[in-house]
Structure 1
Amino acid sequence: MTSELHFWQGSFIGADEAADRLAELPAVVERALAEPLSAETVLVACDTLGRALRDPDGDVHAGLLVHLTEGVPATDRAEAAATLAEIADALARPALERKLRRELGGPRPERFTRPDARETVYEAWAPVGLVVHIAPGNAATVAPLSVVEGLLAGNVNVLKTSSSDTPLAQHLLAELAAADPTGAIGRRIVALRFPSRRQDLMRLLCAPADAVAVWGGEDAVRGVAALIPPGCRLVEWGHKISFGYLTRDAARDRDSLAALATDVCRAEQQACSSPQVIYLDTGDHGDAGTGTDSGTGTDSETGTDSGTDGDAAASAVADELFAFAERFAAVLDEVSAGFPAPHPEPEADPAEQAEITTTELVARAEQHLGLTKVITADDGSWRVFADVRPTLTASPLHRTVWIKPLPRQEITATLRPMRRYLQTASVGGSRADIARLSRALVTAGVQRITPLGAMLDSYHGEPHDGVYALQRYSRRVSVQATGAEFAATPCLDDLIAPAAPPAAPTGPLMDKSAAQDQLRSLAPEHAQLYFRSGGTTGAPALSVFTCDDYDTQMRASAHGLLAAGFDPARDRAANLFYCGEMYGSFISFFSILERLNATQIPMAAGPDHEAIAEALVTYQVDTLFGMPSYLWQLFHTQRERLRSYGGIRKVFYGGEHFTTEQRRILTEEFGVLLIRSAAYGSTDLGPLGYQCAHARGTEHHVLTDLHTLEILDPQEDRPVPAGQPGRLVFTTRTRAGQRLERYQIGDLGRAVDGVCPCGSRTPRIELLGRYGDVFRMGTYHFNYRRFTRAAEEHLGYRGELQLVLTSAADREHLTVRLDERYAPDPDEARTTLLAHIPELGSAAGAEALLTCTVETADTLAFERTPTSGKLRTVIDRRASVTA
């Protein structure tokens, strides 16, 4: 082993040291597995490395380019750069998140969550342990990307590449480890470079393995299989054969032939998905499905020997086949000329050239028997061998292709014996042909069906050789929990401290205007769902999501709702959030309840309170979801009906908060047993937090699966001391659409110290209102919450409260608006507020910096946002007054 080309858990080591460390591999694996690795950590590191690879002037790109071209002529630098670009695309976070969703169900597969929220059964994907990757020598991207797959599944990974390979894989994985500030990724990677003939090292490598992924032919797979221990999972990525299949119509279409010829020329047929054979559908479709037996050898009408007819049919097939071969050869000649000459790397070596020559000589000899037809390029750059026998035959590659007949009704009989080796079939024909032939080919054992010209293409998340790699590198595990204490536990992992918190965000702060500016450059595929905010604090703002973004957020919020006390197995919920005009509350909670498999009556908030109350009784609803201001109106306009019904047991609210006095009324007069926040969130960021059974007031747990939270000083960009109030600044991590990083949501809050009595280790915050709740008037700062608290504590007030700020030429004016059903005499209310809000008493007293009045009104006269129905708590009209 060369001394400098072995990467071991974060550093490069020499040959002797690598051999010594292999003997200690079992202990190394045990120590590494004791530290859980989150998929989030891998995603962040991969995305960081991917961005570095896209910078052609960066040190990472330049260094890896040197390693990739080591021993390769400089003319191949363009191909090397293309390889790095391919790796960068594969490492991009959206691509890997899509892979996780497709293969393991979501971006955090390692977390123990409830697949059916109605049961306290938890499932997760766990690593198999140690995965050994024995990489091929003909694909530079395979080795490092296979290790990335092992990391996404949480495994410790040991990679072995050939001693003749470039050191790209080792150095690329070293850069990946360097991109992870936690060091967890580096501790799970070992990348060695030695020949497979070193059986002593191969045995040390395979002995502790829980899974071995091996690329190569049958001999290579058998050699590795002999070394692995009992129970070790062998993941074979062996050599495969691919082919094209053309109907008669497609065989006459020059564009179809050109597309297939392109597949032949790309990569010199070195990929498993390259076509080695082109099958021509030579069957008589007029007899398809008639049930006629075509193998009797006797004409059923005349009784004469049909052997002559059979010979004639065979001759016709041969003529058709050979004529097609001539047409295809002409197209291949044109297409091949448009491709550059084969690079030195895929050029046929002496053994391969001997195989090409031997195959051609045998085919030419069989021409005299009428079995074959050989057509070759004058310069030897391509070869077409037509053969009337349909048996699948491997090509010697390097732009060498077989042409064979295969009636569609004989696909299964002909190809199924070779099913272990089949991979890709490219089908040309009508839409109905493609549907029928795809089913027949899959039945025969084919794994992939592609359009002509796309055999070597792939899409993010595509299964490989008929399986999902991440599932082969994982175990599906479960925990069955009993007892009422687990009913409100959505995720077992929340009960333990996270292994490594995400790195602290950096960069400038974002506000709403910056988020709106970002929309102008957003790619269309990242803008699939459009929502507008309710406009409570200003003009409605637009937010967009991908469908995957939305699904991830709704599932996270559903987990929070379980913690809040919603029981999807028993509760009957009415969704009374507002709907329409692109507002997201109703739609979101419909989706959340759907993901919980809950019973729901999706009614939406409406002005006909009587009809809604009647439906609640008719459908035996016991749980309400909605805005506090709307639910408060509903309970009071339908007081007698709902009190008589007495069936409303739970209320989950959002967007606003119930006061202590309002909670008392709902509990004592209407029999509500549980009143809790349904979620803390916003239209632009989505769900941000949730309440548990032990949450007090406005306390919420942060949804750390989705976001990283900072609490910054109200005036400066620095963290506040522990427990002090500040601006809530969120960075959303699971978002392919809008990338909101260090986003100032407009809320104030403080961190709540200690571990929550519910057992969850996720951080908690206490919400302290919005920036708009704090206003300056008459040289003093006022907080809306001071007014509501004073009214509740000293007036026994239980209704809504609204502040209206105006100004005249000489002074400013503050109007406190109260619900006439619960308000005392306005003068009494004013006196009480002046007495218990000292700043107000000073400003409206002898100094007369402002005037203050209290007015009472019907709650329907209070100003609300038209979209969400939220109460406008502070209405500042001073800006509209001119001097």
Structure 2
Amino acid sequence: MTLTESIADTTTTKIRVPHFVRGKLIWGDDSEYLSRDFGVPFVTPKIEFNELFVPRTQQGPAFDVPVSDIIDFLVETAAHLTLEKNEYLQESLEMTLQVSALPRRIIENTFARPGQFLTRKALEYRLEKTFGDVDVLDGWVERTDPNGRVSRIRAFPPRLVHMLAGNSPSAAMTSIADAALTKAVNVFKMPSADPFTTVAVLRTMADIAPGHPVLQSMSAVYWRGGDEKVENILYRSQYFDKLVAWGGGAAIENAAKYAGPGFQLISFDPKVSMSVIGREAFESEETLREVAELAAKDVTIFNQDACLAARHICVEGNLEQVDRFCALLVDRMGVDRDFTSAVGPKPAADIRDAVEGMRFLEPEYRVWGAFDGRGLVVRSPEMVDFHPTNKTVNVIPVDSMRDAASLATVATQTVGVYPTHRKAEIRDDLATAGVQRVVRLGSAMTGSMGSPHDGMYPLHRFVNWVVDDDA
């Protein structure tokens, strides 16, 4: 039964969302939930906990599979993850459109993104940069320390629960690849904003090799985040080693309460990104227009529903110069791009109320744009006290780039800098403040392969490092 057929079969308006448990597709309407963005009802099968567990007395199905074979499987899978040819992704797209605030064109583009990361060269490069000696994933690697003491090290396959991110369908594809490379036993908690793509990818893998050990190591199920009846069972060290959590503040806080001896939390916390623009932007009108375009690209990624989308922009210049930049910026925010729609969701009431109040504080504060989802720019002498979102950006004039760096915090993920050569001028200050990533302005969406994410090498954290020591 396909996803679309399942809808035709039901007499209700509720979407039927299947689970996928260690190679088996499971349908059912035992539990009912609502999607995150629009409150669309959907139903899922009952979670059979015993089917998700591999007893601690047994090694995981992929334990003895060479990493080279896993890469072969992922590369073959990636070749089948083409929207034009994959009926599961096509069905997932149609279902996601019913629950996601993103338009069809952007969702279609996200399906193409993982292709650049799931090539053989990309996967091998990432493993090399993460582990150095990739042999530690396949067995015990012997080494001798300066005192002549011998030990053997292994990056041991873990048991992981993944709280998947819901702001992009491509997150499901990359999370599955990460889980496979570490040979983990995995349970994926699907997000209510997209409870479809994970199953679509696993069904694709099942068509290629239904009995593959990697597939037998993976389950994708849904429950409402915070449901203690589920989480008090799953989030235990007797079943799993670590919880890999993506999500907003409330979701991460809920996940953190389960961390304890034997059960670790690997948290990809909600982050806020920013941009820093030097006075060089004002060398000519043409340059300023180019800089405004680059800044708009970073602000509007997934209509600003992404950690790496800039929400604050510090500009080195006087008020007249900064205001010229703001006027150009708001115009470029209302443009269709690969991962941006010209008109996105409208700003929430708290933003509207705060901005309306600022209109009475000119010239210290100034506002460009409207509450129509095309873009809103607020220039203020310091960071605003609301969270800019839904294509709302806060511009702050600064005297120097170092002043801008002082506004970054440990919650600041990505900082785009113009001109590029001045990144070196402030990157140490930014890192000291807690920033994890510094990029060229306009390239927040473009990442280098094999780099850390959120201040860590995720795969290095996923595995369990074990030593057999002869000392």
Q: Give the TM-score range, shorter chain.
A: 0.7 to 0.9
1:801-836 CA distances to partner (integer Å, 9 max, x unpaired)? xxxxxxxxxxxxxxxxxxxxxxxxxxxxxxxxxxxx
Show the counterpart of 1:444.
433
Query: Are 1:402 and 2:394 matched, yes or no?
Result: yes
Query: Are 1:210 and 2:241 matched, yes or no?
Result: yes
Find the partner of 1:142 among 171, 178, 182.
Answer: 171
Task: Say whether the 8 Å CA contact 1:355–1:396 is kept in structure 2.
Answer: no
Find the residue that maps to 1:137 and give its secondary structure. Answer: coil
Report the CA distance shift for 1:365/1:204 in structure 2 as closer, same or farther (over 3 A).
farther
Show the counterpart of 1:126.
156
Task: Say whether the 8 Å CA contact 1:39–1:109 is kept in structure 2.
Answer: no
Q: Which amino acid letter does the alignment assign opposite residue 353 of structure 1? A: A
Find the residue that maps to 2:449 and give its secondary structure. Answer: coil
With CA pairs under 8 Å and 6+ residues apart, which has the higher RCO, 1 or 2? 2
Show the counterpart of 1:10.
23
Report the CA distance shift for 1:442/1:250 in structure 2 as closer, same or farther (over 3 A).
farther
Query: Are 1:455 and 2:444 matched, yes or no?
Result: yes
Show the counterpart of 2:323.
326
Q: 1:345, 1:24 → 2: CA distance?
A: 45
Query: Are 1:38 and 2:66 matched, yes or no?
Result: yes
1:762-803 CA distances to partner (integer Å, 9 max, x unpaired)? xxxxxxxxxxxxxxxxxxxxxxxxxxxxxxxxxxxxxxxxxx
Show the counterpart of 2:351.
356
Q: Which amino acid letter does the alignment assign opposite residue 201 of structure 1? A: V
1:569-622 CA distances to partner (integer Å, 9 max, x unpaired)? xxxxxxxxxxxxxxxxxxxxxxxxxxxxxxxxxxxxxxxxxxxxxxxxxxxxxx
Show the counterpart of 1:231.
262
Show the counterpart of 1:91.
118
Find the residue that maps to 1:213 and give its secondary structure. Answer: strand
Q: Report the Cα offset of residue 205 of structure 1.
A: 2.0
Query: Are 1:244 and 2:280 matched, yes or no?
Result: no
Q: Report the Cα offset of residue 157 of structure 1.
A: 0.7
Report the CA distance shift for 1:345/1:220 in structure 2 as closer, same or farther (over 3 A).
farther
Q: Report the Cα offset of residue 185 of structure 1.
A: 0.8
Structural mapping, 1:688-699, within 5 Å: none
Q: Report the Cα offset of residue 392 of structure 1.
A: 6.8
Find the partner of 2:374 among 371, 377, 381.
Answer: 381
Report the CA distance shift for 1:348/1:341 in structure 2 as closer, same or farther (over 3 A).
farther
Show the counterpart of 2:291.
256
Q: Which amino acid letter does the alignment assign opposite residue 92 of structure 2? A: H
Unaligned stretches of 5+ in structure 2?
A: 1-13, 31-43
Q: TM-score when scaled to structure 2?
A: 0.81
Q: Report the Cα offset of residue 81 of structure 1.
A: 3.5
Find the residue that maps to 1:114 and give its secondary structure. Answer: strand
Query: Are 1:64 and 2:65 matched, yes or no?
Result: no
Report the CA distance shift for 1:25/1:385 in structure 2 as closer, same or farther (over 3 A).
same
Task: Say whether the 8 Å CA contact 2:83–2:111 is kept in structure 1.
Answer: no
Task: Say whether the 8 Å CA contact 1:40–1:108 is kept in structure 2.
Answer: no
Greater CA radius of gyration, 1 or 2?
Answer: 1
Report the CA distance shift for 1:409/1:325 in structure 2 as closer, same or farther (over 3 A).
closer
Q: 2:83, 2:402 → 1: CA distance?
A: 52
Q: 2:195, 2:265 → 1: CA distance?
A: 26
Unaligned stretches of 5+ in structure 1?
A: 283-319, 483-883
Task: Say whether the 8 Å CA contact 1:158–1:189 is kept in structure 2.
Answer: yes
Query: Are 1:466 and 2:459 matched, yes or no?
Result: no
Report the CA distance shift for 1:356/1:152 in structure 2 as closer, same or farther (over 3 A).
same
Aligned residues: CA RMSD = 3.2
Find the residue that maps to 1:72 and give its secondary structure. Answer: helix
Q: Which amino acid letter does the alignment assign opposite residue 324 of structure 1? A: Q
Task: Say whether the 8 Å CA contact 1:64–1:171 is kept in structure 2.
Answer: yes
Task: Say whether the 8 Å CA contact 1:383–1:399 is kept in structure 2.
Answer: yes
Report the CA distance shift for 1:7/1:474 in structure 2 as closer, same or farther (over 3 A).
same
Q: 2:56, 2:373 → 1: CA distance?
A: 52
Q: Report the Cα offset of residue 43 of structure 1.
A: 0.7
Task: Say whether the 8 Å CA contact 1:124–1:477 is kept in structure 2.
Answer: yes
Find the residue that maps to 2:212 and give its secondary structure. Answer: coil
Query: Are 1:103 and 2:130 matched, yes or no?
Result: yes
Q: 1:250, 1:117 → 2: CA distance?
A: 53
Q: TM-score when scaled to structure 1?
A: 0.45
Q: 1:71, 1:414 → 2: CA distance?
A: 37
Q: Which amino acid letter does the alignment assign opposite residue 9 of structure 1? A: R
Find the residue that maps to 1:234 and give its secondary structure. Answer: strand
Show the counterpart of 1:174.
203
Q: Which amino acid letter does the alignment assign opposite residue 65 of structure 1? A: Q
Q: Report the Cα offset of residue 171 of structure 1.
A: 2.0
Q: How much identity, in percent, do the aligned residues show?
A: 23
Q: 2:198, 2:275 → 1: CA distance?
A: 33
Q: Report the Cα offset of residue 177 of structure 1.
A: 4.4
Report the CA distance shift for 1:243/1:42 in structure 2 as closer, same or farther (over 3 A).
same
Q: Which amino acid letter does the alignment assign opposite residue 399 of structure 1? A: K
Report the CA distance shift for 1:147/1:379 in structure 2 as closer, same or farther (over 3 A).
closer
Task: Say whether the 8 Å CA contact 1:359–1:396 is kept in structure 2.
Answer: no
Residues paired across the two proteins, number: 431
Find the residue that maps to 2:95 and give its secondary structure. Answer: coil
Q: Report the Cα offset of residue 405 of structure 1.
A: 3.0
Show the counterpart of 1:836.
none
